[in-house]
Structures are given as structure tokens and as C-alpha cells.
Amino acid sequence: MSQDNSSISFADMKLAPALLQVLEDVGYEQPSPIQAKSIPTLLEGKDVLGQAQTGTGKTAAFALPLLSRLDLRKREPQLLVLTPTRELAIQVAEAFQTYARHLKGFHVLPVYGGQSYEIQLRQLKRGVHVIVGTPGRVMDHMRSGKLRVNGLRALVLDEADEMLRMGFIDDVEWVLEQVPSERQIALFSATMPKEIRKVAQCYLRDPVVIKIVQKTVTAEGIRQRYWQVSGLHKLDALTRLLEAEPYDAMIVFVRTKTATVELAEKLEARGHACDALNGDIPQNMRERIVGRLRNGQTDILVATDVVARGLDVKRISHVVNYDIPTDVEAYIHRIGRTGRAGKTGDAILFVSPREKRLLKAIEKTIRQPIEPMQMPTAKDINLQRIQRFKQRVCNSLSEEKNEFYYQLLTEVQQEEGVEVMEIAAALAGLLQGEEPLLLPEKSKPAIGDKRGKDKAPGKRKRTTETANLNARPLAGHPEVEMQRFRIEVGSAHEVKPGNIVGAIANEADLESQYIGHIEIYEDYTTVDLPAGMPKEIFQAMKKARVCGRRLDISLLGGKPVRAGAAGNEGGTARGRQPRRKAGGGARPSSVKKGKATRKKPGAAKRSR
């Protein structure tokens, strides 16, 4: 494509009016490079082979044009999106729902393992236009005849290299072989290994190749930190940050024009000198707003990416990414507003648990880790408040108006016969008003702060010694020897027992009845599994992901146990091997006598 994406707008792309209305509603102003190149191509019905990192805006790049081409009168699947993980499937489905807000009668369905088949089957029977799912569960529905793809118009492979890494490539090819020959395909991948190129050569027809290269890196003088906080608590988190973090001037970045105004108003209501800056503000007004920031009349700007690019104000000491950018390049431009002219600066990123993938993509692009923040306690906040109060008093000592008040308070002292410090304390109370100066120091930790959680009722400390190393025998299968394993995901990552059971059942090709006791701690979980796990399955489980995190499973070291044989000294699995599921996991293997044997792709039913 020859058109410069720096000047193209969404309105230039001939998207459906309902979609343009949504983009206007949420205040998206300019497409990212991958969107500017992919949307016109997909609107023309051409296949696309796109290479771009996570966090470059790929979802909108394929969702917007393919939504524009749907026929909503037909209540049948017309678009299928394959993703490597259930978390990404949910995220992509939610994005489709947002973009299709003004498309009457539109339905999207995420399908993935860990969720009841009945729920998905009911929605399939009702009729959906877009399916977003993991390969295994999509195959299940296709084999059962519940998901018919004869009306499919387009198919998207999202993060194809990740699907290859997780062992899904055979499943993906099976799905590709079942879809109609006259269909459009978009394949997106961060890298292009030979296996992905082979898939593209076999199934894509004269694809338009789009490659987005991240060229820039962040300045060395910028300290980058992130704070894990969910959307509901962001405002409180930002308010706490403004109290505890010494700053000169700050830019707070949000995604949409509407959000700039809403957040600026809320910050002003909390006593901060704040302005909104977005594309709807006339140029002369923008210049006045920036001028106020430059001369100290305003301390905080709440802005979108477009209007803040090129903004050069030396007193900006902090950049806060209130909304994590979906385009990594945008993050680099955002934090470049601080640390200018040889000065140091601070960049702080708010990340919800479901946005950890975007955080990893940013770290990969800038080639350095972003350190987690330890947020302030009430004691830290109180020290800052006391210091600011003292500074206000000191600043007022030299003012000329004090002469009148000096005489007035001298009269009060003589009339009431009280000490000078008593009068000063009374005045300080009048100055502070009804709101107390200090926070109660026994209050709960700051939003997102993990300190102090170990002592909370019902929580386990994070040390491995807390966990019992010995597994519990299976009540329903006392003959099966069990061992206790540790996986690196816990309550801090919002994991639930069902997530763990689903992932292990998939990866180990194991029926859930053979998954034993699960104990969820703050940052890890213990789970009892049959002893003697084959090496191939063990390695596959280490790479599997739950709630966006690798399981990294490891043996805790306890001896294998079964009912009546807890003291088994042999340390090997001599009990009867559990029955494996009919369907495979990410690594399609079955277990016989402790050895792993490969199954042919598509030979048996799978579950996701």
C-alpha cells in the first residue's frame, strides 16, 4: 500500500457507517500502521499475510473490515477466528462485540475449553455470525456437526506462531481443509517460521504481505514501572499515585477523546489542576492548554496519543499510561514526552490482569523489563501530606497580609489567655476542614499492593514450605498412585480451580476424575496428579498457559501415594495407570505403560 498511514483516517477506509459511528463514539482518532494497511486490503476481499507484534492493534485490523462484509440477515457463522488461548479468544470476542455495538442482531460466540459444551451449543443453535475459538474446541463442534462452516466467508488465524509453539498447527490445518474453497483468509503472526510460511503457501491465495517493524526503543533516562490494577480501581489508584509520587508536571494517557474529559473532570473534583487535551479541541485552545502546563498554571494533562505527539514541555517529569496502549509504538511515543533534554523521567503503566500479554509485548519490543511498582501504604501517604502541610505554612510566613492576622491573633491570645500554639492548632484545623489530614494507618493496603496479603484471613503465605509435599489419595480410584505438583499461577492471577482442571485435562490428555486435590495459594497452586507422568506430556504442561501465565509445572518432591500405600518407598508409579480421555490436548498424545505415542491429527475427539 502506498498511502502514508500517518495521514489516513478511519473515515477514508469505506468501513460500514455503523462501525464508523462506534469509532466516533469511543474517540478513536487514527489507525495504527497495521490497521492502515490491513483494513483496505481486507475490505477488497484479498487474503492477508501480516507480520506484527502483539499490541499493534491487529484485532481491529481484521475485525473492522470483516464486520463490514457480514450479511446480518443470515444467522449462520460467516467468520471464524482461531486463537491459541482461551484468554485471547475471550478478548477478541469482546472486541467484536464492542465494534458491532450498532449492528442490529449481531452475535459473536467465543468457544474454548473449560466452559460447558451446553452453553456453547445453545448459542450455536440460536445462530451466530462470528465464532472466535481455540482450535481443539472448534474441531469438537465441527466434528459433532453443531458448527457448520459451509457458509463461512472468512477465516482469521491470530498469533499463528503461538499456535505452532503450543502444538496446534495440525489442528489448524484440519480446520482449513474443512472450510469452503471460496473464502478469504487473514493470517497474523509475530514471527514467520517455515511451518507458518508453509501454511500460508498452501491455503492463502496471492496474499498481500504486510510487515510492521518496531524500529524505535525507549530513552535510557526514563524509569519504567507498571502497577497491576483493574479498571474499577484505576481512578483511586491514580489519586493515590498523585499523592505519593513527587512530580513536577504529568501527562496521563487514555485511549479515547471522551475519556480525556471525564477523567480530567474527576481529577479536578479531587483538587488537582488538570486539563483535557484531545482532537476535538480547536488548535488555538490546545496551544493555550499547553501554555498553561508550560508556565505552571496546570500540572496534569489528560490526553490521547495523537494530540500529544511532538509535545515538548521540559517540566513533564511523569507519564502515566492510564489505559495501556494496544499499539506498542504508541507506548514508545507516549513515554518519550518525559526524560527530554538530558533529564530523567518516570513512566508508569496501569495493567489489568487480562492485559499482561500487552505488557509482555511492550517489554519484548523495548528489549528490557518493566519493573512492578510497590504502591504506598497509608503511612507513606501521611508522610507526604505532613510534608506538604509544613511547606504551605513555611511558604505563608513571608506574606505581607500576615501583619493584620498577627495583630488579630494577639488580641485573641490576650482575651482568651491561651498559648500561641493552641491558637495555631485551631487555625490548622480550620484550614483542613472536615476531611482529616491523615489516613488511618491500619487501613487495607493501597490498590494493587500485594504487601500484607499473607496475613489476611484465608490466604496462604507464598513460601513453598507452607504447602504439604505429600499428595492425597484419590477417593474414587484408590489404586492410582498420586504425586503433588506445583504450578506457577495463583489467586493473585485470578485463577479458579476450573481453569486449572481444564488446562491439565487438555495438556495431559487426562480425564478430570484423575485430577486430585487442588490448593490455590497467592502466587502458585499445588495439584495432585497421577505419578509417573511421561516426559513429553510433562514438558507440554510446563508450556501450557492459564490466565495468561505459563504453568511451569514442577514436582514438589513428595513420595507417590495411593490409598493404603502412603508409605511407598519405591518412589515409582506401580499403581494402575488412569484412563486417558478420548480426545487429546495441545500435544495430541496418549499414555500407555508410561510411554507417549503420537496420534494422527484429527483421529480422535478433543476438548478445549
Q: Could you tell me the residue range of the domain that residue 191 belongs to? A: 10-211
Distance, in Å, from the CA atom of 409 to the CA atom of 574, rounded to the nearest integer, reads 90
* Contacts of residue 98, Cβ cutoff 8 Å, sequence gap at least 6: 22, 26
Distance, in Å, from the CA atom of 420 to the CA atom of 406, rounded to the nearest integer, reads 11
* Contacts of residue 527, Cβ cutoff 8 Å, sequence gap at least 6: 484, 485, 487, 500, 504, 515, 516, 517, 518, 519
Q: Pick from 68, 60, 122, 115: which is nearest to 91 by CA?
A: 60
pLDDT in tens, 82-103: 998 887 888 899 889 999 999 9
Is-contact 141 120, C-beta < 8 A?
yes
248 shares its domain with 371: yes
Tell me the residue type at 567: G
Q: Pick from 132, 100, 75: which is nearest to 21 by CA?
A: 100
| 1 domain-assigned | no
Most confident listed range (98-107, 108-117, 471-480): 98-107
DSSP states of 19-41: HHHHHHHHT--S--HHHHHHHHH
Band (527; pLDDT cuts 50, 70, 90) = very high
Q: Which of 54-58, 438-442, 481-485, 568-572 has the lowest mean pLDDT?
A: 568-572
| 62 domain-assigned | yes
372 shares its domain with 426: no
Most confident listed range (249-253, 322-326, 564-568): 249-253
What is the DSSP secondary structure assignment for residue 233, as one 8-state letter? G
Who wins on pLDDT, 511 or 323?
Answer: 323
Tell me the residue type at 389: F
Band (570; pLDDT cuts 50, 70, 90) = very low
495 shares its domain with 413: no
Which contiguous run of DSSP H or E holds residue 466?
none
503 shares its domain with 354: no
352 shares its domain with 342: yes
SS3 429: helix
Tell me the residue type at 11: A
385 shares its domain with 369: no
Q: How many domains does the chain have?
A: 4
pLDDT in tens, 231-269: 668 888 898 888 878 889 999 999 888 899 999 999 998
159 shares its domain with 305: no
171 shares its domain with 30: yes
Q: Which of 313-322, 530-539, 545-554, 590-599 has the lowest mean pLDDT?
A: 590-599
204 shares its domain with 77: yes
Domain harbouring 579, CATH code = 3.30.70
Average pLDDT of the chain? 79
| 31 domain-assigned | yes
* Contacts of residue 96, Cβ cutoff 8 Å, sequence gap at least 6: 63, 67, 108, 130, 132
Q: Which of 377, 397, 423 is the last residue of a domain?
A: 377
